[in-house]
Structure 1
Amino acid sequence: MVSISIAVDIGGTFTDVVLINGNTSFVEKTLTTPDDLLEGFFRGITGVLTKAGLAPADVNDRIVHATTTVTNALIERRGAKSAMLFTDGFADTLRIRREDRFDIYDTQIEAPEPIIDQTFTIDERVYADGTNGKAPSEAEINALAATLAEHRVQSIGICFMHSYINPTNERFVAERLKKLLPELEISLSSEVSPQIREYVRASTTAVNAYAVPVTKPYLDELERKLTEEGFRPEPLMVLSSGGLVAVETAARFPVRMIESGPAAGALATAFFAKSLNAPEILGFDMGGTTAKVCLIQNYEPLVAAEFEVDRAYQLKEGSGFPVNVPTVDLIEIGAGGGSIAHINDMGLLKVGPRSAGASPGPACYARGGTNATVTDAAVHLGLLDPNNFLGGEMKLDARAAANALAVVGEKLGIGSVEVARGVYDIVCEAMAGAVRTHAAERGVDYRGVPLLAFGGSGPVYACQVADLLNSSKVIYPPLASVFSAFGALVTPVRFDLTQSALMRLEDMDWPMVHELLGHIEAESRKALNVACVQDGDVELKFSADMRYYGQHYEVPVTFPERPSPATPLRELFEAELRRRHSVCQPQLDVEIVNWRIAASGPASAAPAFSHAGERLAEEKIRPVHAWGSHDVKVVQRRSLDVETRIKGPLLIEERETTLVICPGWTVRAGPLGCVVAERED
């Protein structure tokens, strides 16, 4: 039987759908419907099934979904009525934060309001060694339940001191509250984030508690509608770490889905890195709302243990809410096709981070938008054909784009073409700057690293960005505009768990370590079993966060096998230190802070991309004004072949995007259906 799978990635502007039928792929791209995300979801699925000539019942393998539901709830602050419960004396944990300043030069700086502002406390205490100093009383829990009911609280996060090492009190309170308030959603820090460092654990729990009442009904409705439409497979959700889980697990831990779409794109980049034998590559994803850059090293995306959501102060680090869940390590900037061009207080042209989104969208969408955007600039410069957007299914209004740009130009005293060029240059430089920052922070010389361009807008700007980075190669994969949706289909079911347990190497309590690892392994396997992965198909990877005793931050160290007394822990730690910092201190004691397990199942088989090499007769010439004024040849992607190299400038069109090849570059068809652009010597 031929395997048939569907993946849906909901972005800020477009909803992307990929259907794989054996070795054949079908794609659909439709505008996201912000008021009801599932409307766009099912519109896209209906469209792709129609193209494939299939019915819902024919889908027999996987239905995978990457969603912005959690991100939207956080940014728009439209979560349900939520509260936090702390140990007595710690009610202001979310307001005190880390007591640092994310801008030392702003004397009027204000920290963002906590994601949950209603807090309660209870008289309990667990000490740092895990000893239960005081259990909470049932009378106090009963009084708390009455207060929560009075305030109509729908979700509560519980974060007690040192519960990561002893969760007894958290569980006791949760059990009693659930009996008294069966409809109350409860998030425990000992389950969401059982890690040391109180503020980040509380922040992670608060984000989860805030998102659960929004995410759970969305996922319930998704399952109901899929069943109603006649689909058989249970849906799987993409996590920020780049794994898939069942809806049941995703509903418990929505904080793990914040970066689900970008994570799927990073996994797709890693898939092509392996297929093309490129151990190091920069994934460049530009959509309608944002641009993302991820670094692939040794064929794998980097994964960060902590990241920050909803940065409120000029996108500066420290101005958002930290969450310590595994997340594909990427840098994101507000520069997408819908990013709005405007004049700042200094009278300078700026682009983003505000976006026109899907509604009303860029001015050229003719859906009520009047602001000039990056897409309007691309249309006005001739980079995009207004009559061939989405293969001609969506016509763009070139006059509206020109008028919107002219309004900006009037304030600067320049014409609309000069404004469009300025937008193009600013966006490309902003994205090149993001690549420089991301690579430099990780000690990578980005100048020799090829770019892999995807997203609806990525192929339009990648060549110019590569020029600015002094990179010599850009790879345009097949399905580039729906690449994250494709990535969801080559992603394995995976669940990562972390448990803090501080211990020095010379004082290792191996029986305790084995018990701890056994516990988190069992929890990881349980999450995979719910997603229909059998125990025999589970692969485990072990790692730990290690540091010299007395240090404040740790270094992640991967173990080749399950840790045991025979594992050379110090040698592995110091080898990683030397790799990162070229130095180590062998005279200092070493301490383990966190133990980690990544449990994964098999990934779906990817399609064998074939390149038909069909030559098409219709080649066009279009005036382009991005690099001066040129009459530029326009060809179809499927007309390229391996033998022929074509010099830029050149526009290569396909239904969902346009590959813009700059002057000074040549392009040819490559392996696996890719198109490869190379800088001329």
Structure 2
Amino acid sequence: MKKQSVRLGVDIGGTFTDVVLEVDNSSYSTKVLTTYVAPENAIIGGMQQVCTKAGITPSEIGQIIHGTTLATNALIERRGAKTALITTEGFRDVIEMRTESRFEQYDLNLNLPEPLLPRQMRYTVPGRIDASGTELMPLTRADVEPVVDQIAAAGYESVAVGLIHSYLNDAHETLVRDVLAEKMPDAMVSLSSEVSPQMREYERFNTVVANAYIKPLMKSYLSRLEGRLRDEGSHCNIFLMHSGGGIISIESAAEFPVRLVESGPAGGAVFAANIAARYGLDKVLSFDMGGTTAKICLIKNQTPKTSRVFEVARTYRFKKGSGMPISIPVIDMVEIGAGGGSLAHVDSLRQIRVGPESAGSEPGPACYGRGGDKPAVTDADLVLGKLDPENFAGGSIRLDSQSSANSLTTVLGDVLDMDATTAAFGLAEVVDENMANAARVHAVENGENLSEYTMIAFGGAAPLHAGRLCEKLGVGRLLVPPGAGVGSAIGFLRAPFSFEANRSVYMTLDGFDAEKIRSLLVDLKAEATGFVRSCDADSPILSEFKAYMRYSGQGWEIPVTLTEDQAMNPDVATFEARFIEDYTKLFGRPVEGMNIEITVWSVNATTPPETVARVSEDPGSSEAPAQGDRKLFDPVVADFVDATVVLRNDMTQGAAVPGPGVITEDETTIIIPSSRTAVRQPDGCIDILVKA
């Protein structure tokens, strides 16, 4: 067997670690509980399970692609290394002052996230580069050495360097790195001009600090993982999923670990885009709900929406501006609610609230029987009949229904005078309505009507809630692909090798400089292509060009996509026309008489996407064989109804299950509302449509 035909995808989540093995055209998967102290243990355990299922040894694996929430969790939980920041004199407090915008205008007790580094861990050096990249004040070794001596004496593991306007001229940052390398050879160093060479110092400084903060942790983890895999006999290449939806080498990931933030959910969006291509769908809402969080992503023309900035560790769950901004290329996803392990409580207004606290895998929801005594979403799903206590996770975890009922009664029912079923109903409706609300807001912000969209649901908990979510959103079609419970891990195996290079070079259309633009984009293309070529020496590489543009006086830009010809032969009339076209699509009309500015340029180099064959859809030609009935709570009638239970593996092409129904498999359970009918399509997707 050729090694390259055997590939392993691994997604470390907050509750489960998902492992998928592809051997030629066959797929084997498993879910194991995440091991927080040593995450590599769960990977090794899962790898052994799927290799046993496939009848191969780990030495036959040709490629491993990995995504993880470790970087995100380290930032949220403040578990990073002892880190110092070196910045320009006068800018020591930028990461604490933020942008001075108020995300909750009338809240007198606004709770802003604390900066990753307190003031005493931030150091300054003289020297100054201006907004055109010209040196105004020199920086010398004599200026830098005393500062580095202080940092060395304090015993810092990692150092972030963020100087003003270094994205245009990195000479001062490079000098600081040289001094650090001489005086602190064991310290890890991150330069903002390499991590995020973009304007806006708050976002740039915060990003380089985050990179430095998690760099020792991630380097240590990736090194341990390589060692454990070698011990198992696997000497294949290891690649990491990055937050922009592509794959980078383990060396690049260790150097720029901040690019791994959101890598797991990014894999899910790639997975959904692949399904959308199979069905020829141009408007898709990807819904990923796991054990800890749930996220949505708008996918248009089989391409996930992307962004240059996103936030982690929001102090107000759905409020933009309340978290730490990370300025890197990222698939634009919105956290829209809780995961299966998210815990419920009653607030001071006697309302049921869910999350953000999660039971995770240790101890897990009450029904796991591992010491959890607070009700989680999974406990509500169990009491409402959505889960089979004897066959959860393929029977590997037996659920305790009585523990779920007791926790729901103790925490919610006794306070609100409800029985366990009513408390579970309330908890589930709060979760589903929170997710529906956030999805509506995200759609409006992007000028989209969700009734025109098809939902693709994946993640262990999504198929349990997606049908109800579609009812609330007016979405008429829901697809649950095969392997939905491990969708992000499958997405890793579908993702191209890619890397996006960004640079801030400010220019107005009045001062349009075609030669400068061409030279800049050529450099960015070479940088991005070099990263991709380090991962894949043979495949052709495609380049995608974008200019981020705005009207003068506006505070934010919109991405304008350019063809390679437009990028390599820049013309001011073309740039203006493309901006006005995209601006009008987004906001309804252009603004007359305003000058137009370009702030950021980007080139994304990527290997070609996987070629997929269109599915020949089956409208439903037979009735699926039932395993029996079970009581399922129907939120529309607020009572239990008899639901048909079907094994997904027993459904042949065209087999239909009218709602209410339950389709079970090892990694998840699909709930079919009374208003819908499910049909198995030729590729194994369960296609859930409104009843005719």
Q: Same fold (TM over 0.5)?
A: yes
Q: Which amino acid aligns with 2:124?
A: T
What is the aligned partner in structure 1 of residue 632 from structure 2? 624
Q: Which amino acid aligns with 2:223?
A: D
Q: Is residue 342–residue 349 contact of structure 1 (8 Å, CA) maintained in 2?
A: yes
Give yes or no for the alignment of 1:374 onto 2:377.
yes
What is the aligned partner in structure 1 of residue 325 from structure 2? 322
Alignment of 1:263-412 (within 5 A): 263-407=266-410, 408-412=412-416
What is the aligned partner in structure 2 of residue 655 from structure 1? 666
What is the aligned partner in structure 2 of residue 171 from structure 1? 174
What is the aligned partner in structure 2 of residue 646 from structure 1? 657
Q: Which moved more, 1:105-114 or 1:70-79?
A: 105-114
Provide the C-alpha distance between the structure 2 equivalents of 1:123 and 1:616, rounded to a whole number of angstroms.
73
Q: Which amino acid aligns with 2:545?
A: F
Of 482, 485, 491 in structure 2, the residue corresponding to residue 487 of structure 1 is: 491
Tell me by how many angstroms 1:198 deviates. Answer: 1.3
Give yes or no for the alignment of 1:443 onto 2:444.
no
What is the aligned partner in structure 2 of residue 504 from structure 1? 508
What is the aligned partner in structure 1 of residue 123 from structure 2? 120
Provide the C-alpha distance between the structure 1 equivalents of 2:613 and 2:489, rounded to a whole number of angstroms.
14
What is the aligned partner in structure 2 of residue 186 from structure 1? 189
Once the two structures are superposed, residues 1-52 of structure 1 have per-residue CA deviations (whole angstroms, 9 ceiling, x without a partner) of 5511000001111110111111111001111111211111111111111111
Provide the C-alpha distance between the structure 2 equivalents of 1:285 and 1:375, rounded to a whole number of angstroms.
16
Give the secondary structure class of the aligned counterpart of 2:338.
coil
What is the aligned partner in structure 1 of residue 599 from structure 2? 593
Provide the C-alpha distance between the structure 2 equivalents of 1:17 and 1:482, rounded to a whole number of angstroms.
7
Q: Using a 3 Å threshold, how does the CA distance of structure 1 residues 399 and 24 change in structure 2: closer, same or farther?
A: same
| TM-score with structure 1 setting the length | 0.96
Provide the C-alpha distance between the structure 1 equivalents of 2:590 and 2:630, rounded to a whole number of angstroms.
59
Q: Which amino acid aligns with 1:552?
A: G
Provide the C-alpha distance between the structure 2 equivalents of 1:602 and 1:163, rounded to a whole number of angstroms.
33
What is the aligned partner in structure 2 of residue 82 from structure 1? 83
Q: Is residue 136–residue 173 contact of structure 1 (8 Å, CA) maintained in 2?
A: no
What is the aligned partner in structure 2 of residue 463 from structure 1? 467
Alignment of 1:121-270 (within 5 A): 121-270=124-273
Tell me by how many angstroms 1:510 deviates. Answer: 2.8
Instruction: Specify every segment of 5 or more residues in structure 1 that has no aligned partner in the other structure, as ranges.
Output: none
Provide the C-alpha distance between the structure 2 equivalents of 1:96 and 1:28, rounded to a whole number of angstroms.
46
Tell me by how many angstroms 1:426 deviates. Answer: 1.2
Tell me by how many angstroms 1:644 deviates. Answer: 4.2
What is the aligned partner in structure 2 of residue 99 from structure 1? 100
Give the secondary structure class of the aligned counterpart of 1:645.
strand
Considering only aligned residues, what root-mean-square deviation do their CA atoms show, in Å?
Answer: 2.1
Instruction: Specify every segment of 5 or more residues in structure 2 that has no aligned partner in the other structure, as ranges.
Output: none
Tell me by how many angstroms 1:660 deviates. Answer: 0.4
Q: Is residue 290–residue 334 contact of structure 1 (8 Å, CA) maintained in 2?
A: yes
Q: Using a 3 Å threshold, how does the CA distance of structure 1 residues 386 and 551 change in structure 2: closer, same or farther?
A: same
Q: Which amino acid aligns with 2:685?
A: C
Provide the C-alpha distance between the structure 1 equivalents of 2:361 and 2:616, rounded to a whole number of angstroms.
33
Q: Which amino acid aligns with 1:583?
A: R
What is the aligned partner in structure 2 of residue 671 from structure 1? 682
Q: Is residue 489–residue 606 contact of structure 1 (8 Å, CA) maintained in 2?
A: no
Q: Which amino acid aligns with 2:558?
A: V
Of 565, 569, 577 in structure 1, the residue corresponding to residue 575 of structure 2 is: 569
Q: Which amino acid aligns with 1:652?
A: I
Q: Using a 3 Å threshold, how does the CA distance of structure 1 residues 412 and 455 change in structure 2: closer, same or farther?
A: same
Tell me by how many angstroms 1:285 deviates. Answer: 0.9
What is the aligned partner in structure 2 of residue 431 from structure 1? 435
Q: Which moved more, 1:641-650 or 1:430-439?
A: 641-650
Q: Is residue 22–residue 607 contact of structure 1 (8 Å, CA) maintained in 2?
A: no
What is the aligned partner in structure 2 of residue 515 from structure 1? 519
Of 637, 640, 653 in structure 1, the residue corresponding to residue 648 of structure 2 is: 637
Give the secondary structure class of the aligned counterpart of 2:265.
helix
Tell me by how many angstroms 1:289 deviates. Answer: 0.7
Q: Is residue 518–residue 569 contact of structure 2 (8 Å, CA) maintained in 1?
A: no
Q: Which amino acid aligns with 2:245?
A: G
Q: Which moved more, 1:255-264 or 1:342-351?
A: 342-351
Provide the C-alpha distance between the structure 1 equivalents of 2:15 and 2:117, rounded to a whole number of angstroms.
28
Tell me by how many angstroms 1:617 deviates. Answer: 6.5
Give the secondary structure class of the aligned counterpart of 1:165.
coil
Q: How many residues align?
A: 679
Q: Which amino acid aligns with 1:430?
A: N
What is the aligned partner in structure 2 of residue 35 from structure 1? 37
Provide the C-alpha distance between the structure 2 equivalents of 1:643 and 1:69, rounded to a whole number of angstroms.
41
Tell me by how many angstroms 1:521 deviates. Answer: 2.0
Q: Is residue 657–residue 679 contact of structure 2 (8 Å, CA) maintained in 1?
A: yes
Q: Which amino acid aligns with 2:6?
A: I
Provide the C-alpha distance between the structure 2 equivalents of 1:282 and 1:114, rounded to a whole number of angstroms.
33
Tell me by how many angstroms 1:646 deviates. Answer: 2.8
What is the aligned partner in structure 2 of residue 65 from structure 1? 66
Provide the C-alpha distance between the structure 2 equivalents of 1:342 and 1:397, rounded to a whole number of angstroms.
20
Once the two structures are superposed, residues 93-134 of structure 1 have per-residue CA deviations (whole angstroms, 9 ceiling, x without a partner) of 111110122222221224221112210000111111211122
Tell me by how many angstroms 1:560 deviates. Answer: 1.4
What is the aligned partner in structure 2 of residue 14 from structure 1? 16
Q: Using a 3 Å threshold, how does the CA distance of structure 1 residues 616 and 506 change in structure 2: closer, same or farther?
A: closer
Q: Using a 3 Å threshold, how does the CA distance of structure 1 residues 582 and 603 change in structure 2: closer, same or farther?
A: closer
Q: Is residue 152–residue 183 contact of structure 2 (8 Å, CA) maintained in 1?
A: no
Tell me by how many angstroms 1:588 deviates. Answer: 2.9
Q: Which amino acid aligns with 1:598?
A: N
What is the aligned partner in structure 2 of residue 53 from structure 1? 55
Tell me by how many angstroms 1:614 deviates. Answer: 12
Q: Using a 3 Å threshold, how does the CA distance of structure 1 residues 572 and 604 change in structure 2: closer, same or farther?
A: closer
User: Once the two structures are aligned, what percentage of the paired residues are identical?
Assistant: 39
Provide the C-alpha distance between the structure 2 equivalents of 1:333 and 1:137, rounded to a whole number of angstroms.
49
Tell me by how many angstroms 1:550 deviates. Answer: 3.2
Q: Which moved more, 1:355-364 or 1:600-609?
A: 600-609
Q: Which amino acid aligns with 1:157?
A: A
Provide the C-alpha distance between the structure 1 equivalents of 2:379 and 2:305, rounded to a whole number of angstroms.
34
Provide the C-alpha distance between the structure 1 equivalents of 2:187 and 2:616, rounded to a whole number of angstroms.
52
Provide the C-alpha distance between the structure 2 equivalents of 1:538 and 1:135, rounded to a whole number of angstroms.
41
Once the two structures are superposed, residues 56-85 of structure 1 have per-residue CA deviations (whole angstroms, 9 ceiling, x without a partner) of 12112x210001111111011010100111
Q: Which amino acid aligns with 2:594?
A: L
Provide the C-alpha distance between the structure 2 equivalents of 1:618 and 1:548, rounded to a whole number of angstroms.
60
Give yes or no for the alignment of 1:582 onto 2:583.
no
Tell me by how many angstroms 1:561 deviates. Answer: 1.3
Provide the C-alpha distance between the structure 1 equivalents of 2:677 and 2:170, rounded to a whole number of angstroms.
60
Q: Is residue 341–residue 372 contact of structure 1 (8 Å, CA) maintained in 2?
A: yes
Q: Is residue 86–residue 123 contact of structure 2 (8 Å, CA) maintained in 1?
A: yes
Tell me by how many angstroms 1:642 deviates. Answer: 4.0
Q: Is residue 549–residue 591 contact of structure 1 (8 Å, CA) maintained in 2?
A: yes
Q: Which amino acid aligns with 2:644?
A: K
Q: Which amino acid aligns with 1:17?
A: V
Q: Which amino acid aligns with 2:442?
A: H
Q: Is residue 622–residue 656 contact of structure 2 (8 Å, CA) maintained in 1?
A: no
Provide the C-alpha distance between the structure 2 equivalents of 1:210 and 1:610, rounded to a whole number of angstroms.
49
Tell me by how many angstroms 1:508 deviates. Answer: 2.5
Provide the C-alpha distance between the structure 2 equivalents of 1:609 and 1:236, rounded to a whole number of angstroms.
30
Once the two structures are superposed, residues 242-266 of structure 1 have per-residue CA deviations (whole angstroms, 9 ceiling, x without a partner) of 0100011111111111100110000
Tell me by how many angstroms 1:205 deviates. Answer: 1.1
Provide the C-alpha distance between the structure 1 equivalents of 2:627 and 2:613, rounded to a whole number of angstroms.
30
Provide the C-alpha distance between the structure 2 equivalents of 1:643 and 1:100, rounded to a whole number of angstroms.
54
Give the secondary structure class of the aligned counterpart of 1:672.
coil
Provide the C-alpha distance between the structure 2 equivalents of 1:609 and 1:585, rounded to a whole number of angstroms.
44
